[in-house]
Amino acid sequence: MAEEFSKGDHVTWKSHGGEAEGTVQREITSDTKAAGRTVRASEDDPQYEVKSEKSGGTAVHKPGALEKD
């Protein structure tokens, strides 16, 4: 089972320019619009919306792409 994250957790992830870091904004557990796209998620396959510290933008990642600091 993949790691679970909570709102406010500080995380890192691989980005085009190397490694990015930011804060978890919310867990997504149903299909919804986030970060400018449709996110496919469920209770069994959640995704996480994160806010980048560098750009201030938001992105959505699967738990396997995130690492808790």
- Give the mean model confidence (pLDDT) for residues 7-19: 94
Of 27, 51, 49, 29, which is closest to residue 40 (Cα–Cα)? 29
Using the predicted structure, report yes or no on whether residue 5 has a pLDDT greater than 60: yes
- 31-60 pLDDT, tens digit per residue, is 999 999 999 999 999 999 999 999 999 999
Beta carbons within 10 angstroms of residue 37's beta carbon? 9
The residue with greater pLDDT, 1 or 68, is: 68
DSSP class of 4 = -
Tokens found for residue 63:
């738990």
